Amino acid sequence: MELIITKKELKKRLGRAGNIQSIGFVPTMGALHKGHLSLIEQAGKENEIVVVSIFVNPTQFNDKTDLEKYPRTLETDLQKLKGTPCDYVFYPDVDEMYPEPDTRKFDFGQLEKVLDGRYRPGHFNGVAQIVSKFFEIIKPDKAYFGLKDFQQFVIIKALVNQLNLNIEIVPCPIIREADGLAMSSRNTRLSPGQRANAAVIPKTLFEAKNLTSRYNVQQLEEWVIKTINKNPYLNVEYFKIVDDERLQPVNDWAEPVRKVGCIAIHCGGVRLIDNVIFN
Say how many CA atoms lie within 13 Å of 152 toward its Cβ.
26
Question: Over the stretch 169-223, which tens digit does the pLDDT of each residue have?
Answer: 999 999 999 999 999 999 999 999 999 999 999 999 999 999 999 999 999 999 9
Residues 168 and 195 in one domain: no
Question: Over the stretch 64-123, which tens digit does the pLDDT of each residue have?
Answer: 889 998 999 999 999 999 999 999 999 999 999 999 999 999 999 999 999 999 999 999
Instruction: Pick the closest to residue 86 from 148, 27, 160 (CA basis).
Output: 27
Question: Does residue 178 sit within a domain?
Answer: no
pLDDT of residue 18 exceeding 70, the answer is no
Question: Does residue 24 sit within a domain?
Answer: yes
Q: Of 172, 193, 212, at which residue does a domain stop?
A: 172
Instruction: Round to the nearest angstrom and report the end-to-end CA distance of the chain.
Output: 40
Residue 84's alpha-carbon distances to 4, 35, 77, 221, 263, in angstroms, are: 17, 13, 12, 40, 31
Residues 84 and 112 in one domain: yes
pLDDT > 90 fraction of the chain, expressed in percent and rounded = 95
Question: Does residue 269 sit within a domain?
Answer: yes
CA distance 21 to 29: 27
Residues 263 and 194 in one domain: yes
Beta bridge partners of 261: 241, 276
Residues 167 and 32 in one domain: yes
pLDDT of residue 246 exceeding 90, the answer is yes
Residues 12 and 99 in one domain: yes
Decide if 36 is catalytic: yes
CATH of the domain at 44: 3.40.50.620
CA distance 143 to 165: 12
pTM of the predicted structure, to 2 decimals: 0.96
Question: Among residues 33, 36, 123, 266, which one is catalytic?
Answer: 36
CB-based contacts of 221, cutoff 8 Å, min separation 6: 239, 240, 241, 261
Question: Does residue 206 sit within a domain?
Answer: yes
Residues 131 and 165 in one domain: yes
pLDDT of residue 16 exceeding 90, the answer is no
Residues 112 and 30 in one domain: yes
Domain count, the chain: 2
Question: Over the stretch 47-75, which tens digit does the pLDDT of each residue have?
Answer: 999 999 999 999 999 888 899 989 999 99
Range of the domain at 190: 185-274
Over the chain, what is the mean pLDDT?
96
Residue 248's alpha-carbon distances to 113, 200, 258, in angstroms, are: 10, 26, 11
CATH of the domain at 240: 3.30.1300.10
Residues 79 and 126 in one domain: yes
Q: How far is CA 179 from the centre of its chain?
A: 20
Q: Are strands 23-28 and 49-54 parallel, antiparallel or unpaired?
A: parallel
Confidence of residue 21 (pLDDT cuts 50, 70, 90): confident
Residues 51 and 135 in one domain: yes
